[in-house]
Structure 1
Amino acid sequence: MGLSLSNPLVFFSLILALSAISSLAFQSDELLVDDDEFGLEGGLEHAFGDSDFSTAGTFTARLKTWNHGGQTLTKLRFSRNAFSAEEKEKFSRLLQGDDFYRIRLPSNVLSPPGRDFVVSSVKARCLPRDALDEHIVINTDGVNILGVNYGAPGACPYPRQLKLPSKWSFNSHTILKNTEQAPRAPIFTEDILGGEGGEGEIVPPPERSFWAKYWMYLIPLGLIVMNAITQAMNLPEEQAAGQAQQPTAVQRGAPPSAVRRR
């Protein structure tokens, strides 16, 4: 009786021990807010068009150290500052002028701020939806940030109605990639589509002149017309020259007259 009761207890104890070991061996690397390894912090800056850079928020990341001594960044997250009234006005001017909104990050997260930076930009009209939606792909090599692809989660069609966001807050979608080669600068295609509807104040797009819209068609057409006019002006001269040459050819080809005998 005692042996039959001890076997289930031993079996249950073994299950608990194996569960504890497996949980330690396969512990998830998902981070808690108060995780000590999540203490690495850096600054995010932005600029409106050609203006100077200013503080836009912070980023936090986990610095993972490998057995061979190398370090990599993981779990990078952004915390955005709310736009001030002045920044809202600057962003509105970017929309009206179809200008770029820029961000920059330090190229090395462990070095003191103010050294080298990695800069990326996107047309301001690509960001507003209900809020300001941004998509950030960060390419790293160890603790170095090699490149940043900055844009919007969806397509950025052109021309379109330019609208102010209903909420002046950022929805940041971040992807962290560890690579040994910095990527090319991002190319955000501008599909020729109609404007998107939605909530928010509508800002009319900048009006372009007739020449700005159709210059690529007008220049070849002008060359064709000039060529046709030149050929038409040269045609009468060629005809007159041909008619003048015909009598001369007849005189030269006529047989010599017979010598009159006395």
Structure 2
Amino acid sequence: MKMLLTISFSLLLQFVACIDYDGWLNIKVQHSLNCNGEKYCTRGNISLKSLRAGTSVIEQIPFQQQHIDELKELAEFDGFYTIRSLVTSAETKDSEFFSSVKAKAFLENDLTDVINVWVLPNGAVIAVSFQVNNSSKSQYPQSVNNEYKVQSNFYLRHVEPAVTPDTASYIQKLEREREAREKGELKDNRSFLAKYWMYIVPIAIFVMISGATNPEGPAQTAR
């Protein structure tokens, strides 16, 4: 048990160490269902007091029957249900992200989706994606008191920066090898073919072409 706690604590330290910035984050979730003439209207809100902690508070407006009817119309034509996310943090204001899922899949998953927010170590949000899990229910949601509850599973994804190649050291190595060859300090141990293949190959091709264009005639039998 003590060893398990030690391993868990070390993993937690590694996770926290990868985040260079900590601060609050707010995401306004909008969609285009039952918006009374507007293109997008509020579906809910996600707030985080700390990016390091990753704990979120999700508030969502229940769907009404009109929302379900519009989703069913989209599902009949294999259409998409689109979400717009407006991200605000201590560093940035109203970064806009769009994501779509199949309307039929969203209905068959009982209005349950997965929200992923991708964050760089400096706290910048680079993507917000919505998706639905594969479902075998194949049945549409049922209302409770004429309302349909929307449920979301939220995940904060921390993006590690890619390792940049050490080009400076590689260039310095090539320069040292070039200088050594010029001074005669670096011996070339390659085989004869490896050294002079660029001269041998053209000659071989020329001989083959010459043999193909000037074939020898058939041998004549002596009388």
TM-score by length of 2: 0.49
Q: Which has the larger radius of gyration?
A: 1
